[in-house]
Amino acid sequence: MKLKEVEGLLLSIRSHDHNTGNGEFRRKEAHMKHLLKVPEAASRLNLSVKTTWKMVYGRKFDIVRIGRSVRITAESIDELIDDGTIPADRDYDGDDEDDHEDE
């Protein structure tokens, strides 16, 4: 098998189209996950490597094991950031009368 054929197999998946039921096949792009090493994930989150390892052991991330190596999916880091994001109060004008004493 030639290298181009192997690349083509890796980049596409053939799946049965269950909507038509007539055995037609359609081409789907393979979903390739972006994987990060623990130090890379720590850097992206601005955390120490030790803290990131604790989060790995606490199953805060989706991980992929490749032999003894551990990789963290970029998607799980994005989800962690999204879940922890508190939206800003855009209506806040910075002048809260209850917090100030009259001088």
What is the mean pLDDT of each successive set of 10 residues along the chain, which is 103 residues long?
A: 50 45 46 85 96 95 92 94 89 65 57
Please, is 97 exposed, middle or buried when counting C-beta atoms within 10 Å of its C-beta (0-12, 13-18, 19+)? Answer: exposed
> Strand runs (DSSP E) across 1-103, as ranges?
12-16, 25-29, 35-36, 63-66, 69-73
The candidate with the shortest Cα–Cα distance to 80, out of 64, 60, 65, 63, is: 60
What pLDDT is recorded for position 88? 87
Cα separation, 76 vs 96, in Å, equals 38
**Matching residue, tokens 């009259």:** 102
For the chain, which domains are there? Answer: 31-85 (1.10.1660)
